[in-house]
Amino acid sequence: MAGKGIIHIYASHHNTIILLTDMTGAEVIAKCSGGQVVKAQHKEGSPYAAMKVAETVAEKAKEREIREVIVKVRGTGGNKSNSPGAGSEAAIRSLTRNGMIIKSIENVTPIPHNGCRKKKRYRGKKK
């Protein structure tokens, strides 16, 4: 029988972090980020880095006999951008290529209900 797990993908515009947990979400089985797979800091949030991160997490999942996963995608959220970065799609595609069976994909980006005030807009130099 195939094991089950939850894959949490945090995809901001600057980095991609993937976390594999058991079904309760309490025990972390595998964890990897964009900084562990690429050398240049500005490439941490790229689709290529996300693909490599997903590959390493999928390998660790295979070692623990986890095949079926629920994917939870998260953007930056809060009073910043609600859309996940470019790495989320590439990571999901890479997971399926590496033999993971995705049961569902869920967006868990935190959305404020009129919470914190947004940052003041930068207006450039005054003449």
Q: What is the pLDDT of residues 71-118, one digit of tens each?
A: 999 999 988 888 998 999 999 999 999 999 999 999 999 998 988 888
Pairing state of beta strands 16-21 and 3-11? antiparallel
Q: Which two tokens stand for residue 46?
A: 């790229």
Residue with tokens 């629920």: 70
pLDDT digits 0-9 by tens, 5-54: 999 999 999 999 999 999 998 999 999 999 999 999 999 999 999 999 99
- Which pLDDT score is estimated for 9? 96
Distance CA 67, CA 100 (A): 5
- Which pLDDT score is estimated for 109? 94
CATH topology of domain 3-107: Nucleotidyltransferase; domain 5 (3.30.420)
